[in-house]
Structure 1
Amino acid sequence: MTKRFTKERREHIHDLILERKRVTVKQLSEELDVSEVTLRTDLKEMEKEGLLTRTHGGAIMKEPTTPTGSFKKRSETNLKEKQIMLSAPSHSLKIRAVFYLMPVQRR
């Protein structure tokens, strides 16, 4: 196998994690013909960049989040306030007012 530059190797690791959802250092070492020490360094740096979550012996795909947190978490916060805003009569809103509402999950 042709040796890759660090950036190329990390992009390949990221692609594998997206595809498989999880990888082990041992698997990566065998597939990429790179030492486990090098791969641990790669995974550590990739975790710092927010690309994955390291686990004992490997890594898993990072849960998608937005700048304000995961959708599940945001959808469960301030439920009462969101419901009050949704129940307000539309004629009481100013014409040029803009509201950004997150979907409320009904139970």
Structure 2
Amino acid sequence: MLTSERKALIQTVLLRDGRVVAKSLAQELGLSEDTIRRDLRELASEGLLQRVHGGALPASPAVADFARREESGSAAKLALARAAAALIRPGQIVFLDGGTTNVQLARHLPRDLSATIVTHSPSIAVELVQHPHLDVELIGGRLFKHSIVAVGAASAEAISRIRADVYVMGVTGLHPEAGATTGDSEEASIKRLIARQSAETIVLATEEKLGAASAYCIVPISEIASLVTQASVCDEKLAPLRAAGLEIVSA
């Protein structure tokens, strides 16, 4: 079997099964594990999968810059934002993560909602300037330009002094085994801290992020209460997440 044929087969298995186990695939093809692992390394370097211990998972496609992500999937993000807005209750302290879907959420919070919004996203803070009843606390720090959020020691210190009722988290991948993931280690660390300072974590994720993984783990599925995603997502894709304990909110 040619290298190109093996790589095509690996991607077919990923699409079909949601993961590749190097040992099993090597045995099935009568090849060495080293050959399969080399193929996995090369595919990972091309951004076509995410290597994990023993094999690989589908790579998250959510790697474009903020401006391009804001333009893509706008109808789905709007639906998720409206569904998530309905979950926020008066009087709560809510931490809104950065990301294009959460910007939409900020735009669609009810005008009569009285609550406190904490965010490390300047984009979200600006969206809430004209909201009549929301108190907004903006966390400072070093700007991570890809997501337009503050990160670093100053951010972590400020976040550690806050206890939020709800954290609305953005992710680049959500997988039943890999958990919630993102593509930057420092951003993952800040997201993890926010989740652990919050009573409840809600993830907003469009379909292409489900069953996918990025390089850095934020939290396992067990530390997430709810997932807000598109109503069009098939039950086959949602079943492993539901079995892991997630409440699914369809938008």
Instruction: Give me the TM-score of the superposition, normalised by structure 2.
Output: 0.30
Unaligned residue ranges in structure 1 (runs of 5+): 86-104
Displacement of 1:66: 4.3
1:36 to 11, 33, 38: 33
Q: Does 1:59 align with 2:56?
A: yes
User: In the TM superposition, what are the counterparts of 1:81-96 in structure 2 within 5 Å?
Assistant: 81-82=126-127
Displacement of 1:65: 1.3
Structure 2: distance between partners of 1:82 and 1:12? 46
Structure 2: distance between partners of 1:80 and 1:25? 45
Could you report, residue by residue, the CA deviation over 1:54-81 in whole angstroms, capped at 9, with x for unpaired residues? 1111111112214216778332352233
Structure 1: distance between partners of 2:23 and 2:63? 31
Matched positions, count = 83
Unaligned residue ranges in structure 2 (runs of 5+): 71-97, 103-120, 131-203, 205-251
Q: Does 1:8 align with 2:5?
A: yes
Q: What residue is the counterpart of 1:74 in the other structure?
A: 100
Could you report, residue by residue, the CA deviation over 1:28-54 in whole angstroms, capped at 9, with x for unpaired residues? 112222110001100000000000011
Structure 2: distance between partners of 1:29 and 1:47? 18
Structure 1: distance between partners of 2:4 and 2:56? 18
Q: What do you get for the CA RMSD once the two structures are aligned?
A: 2.6
Q: What residue is the counterpart of 1:99 in the other structure?
A: none
Q: Which has the higher strand share?
A: 2
Which of the two has higher C-alpha Rg? 1
Instruction: Supply the AA of the counterpart residue of 2:41.
Output: K
Structure 2: distance between partners of 1:41 and 1:83? 49
SS in 2 for 1:16: helix
Q: Classify 1:82/1:7 alpha carbon distance in 2 versus 1 (closer, same or farther; 3 Å).
A: farther
% identity of equivalent residues: 34
Q: What residue is the counterpart of 2:186 in the other structure?
A: none
Structure 2: distance between partners of 1:7 and 1:29? 16
Displacement of 1:82: 4.1
Q: Does 1:27 align with 2:72?
A: no
Relative CO higher for 1 or 2, CA cutoff 8 Å, sep ≥ 6?
A: 1
Structure 2: distance between partners of 1:38 and 1:13? 12
SS in 2 for 1:64: coil
